[in-house]
Amino acid sequence: MSENKLNLAVFISGRGSNLQSLIDACKDENYPAQIAAVLSNKPDVQGLERAKKANIPTITVSHKDYETKQSFEGAMLEALKDYPIDFICLAGFMRILSPHFINHWPDKIINIHPSLLPEYKGLNTHERALADGKKEAGCTIHYVVPEMDSGPIVMQKKVPILGDDTPKTLAERVLEQEHIAYPEAVRLLAKAKS
Ligand code: GAR
């Protein structure tokens, strides 16, 4: 671990392809951030395998093991204390964080969302964009605030919606841009902090 890089914790819940884009970006020695830990709220997901393959410490805190959001988040905060973390990147992390957790890391949590916010907050973004006959879709990196998918925007990338798109084809086109956007956004934030 280098001393003058931004230390990230990446939170995931599944496949972890956005995590992989960050892992790949961090392989460049000139990239200004490094991943100190990967936290998953689900055991045995592909993203954890990706982290282990890259020799990144992993933390699993299953929300199912806790009766309340408060105790689940308390366990996450406790586990994170073992790592030097400057910034948290939510990358397909499918739990809504409480104001209590968010206020622990003021202006230090970002999320990637598969729509052009403020349009299509929440789930099934591609289905809804297609149903509305939209011509453009995309992804957004934004700061996390207590209101879901609503914090200040760091970066957006747009893609066209094509006539024969299905939710799957559109999701794939947007995901390609997600993988470009997240490392770029982290680079911007790291530069701003240095
Ligand atoms: C990504 O498309 C991400 O934008 C989305 O989940 C997917 C995770 O894929 N996130 C959300 O919908 C958050 N509300 P990944 O696990 O392969 O990175």
Which CATH number belongs to the domain containing residue 149 in this structure? 3.40.50.170
pTM, full prediction? 0.97
Q: Which atom of ligand 1 is nearest to the CA of 113?
A: 4
Share of the chain above pLDDT 70, in %: 99
The total of structural domains in the chain comes to: 1
Within the chain, residue ranges assigned H as helices are 17-26, 46-53, 69-80, 99-104, 125-131, 167-193
Tell me, yes or no, whether 1 lies in a domain: no
Helix, strand or coil, per DSSP, at residue 137: strand
User: 63, 100, 104, 113: which is the annotated catalytic residue?
Assistant: 113
45 domain residue, yes or no = yes
Q: Is 179 part of the annotated catalytic residue set?
A: no
Contacts of 78 (CB under 8 A, 6+ apart): none
By alpha-carbon position, which residue is closest to atom 17 of ligand 1?
17
Q: Which residues line ligand 1 (CB under 6 A)?
A: 12, 14-18, 47, 91-92, 112-114, 175, 178
- The model's pLDDT over 113-169, given as tens digits with 9 standing for 90+, comes to 999 999 999 999 999 999 999 999 999 999 999 999 999 999 999 999 999 999 999
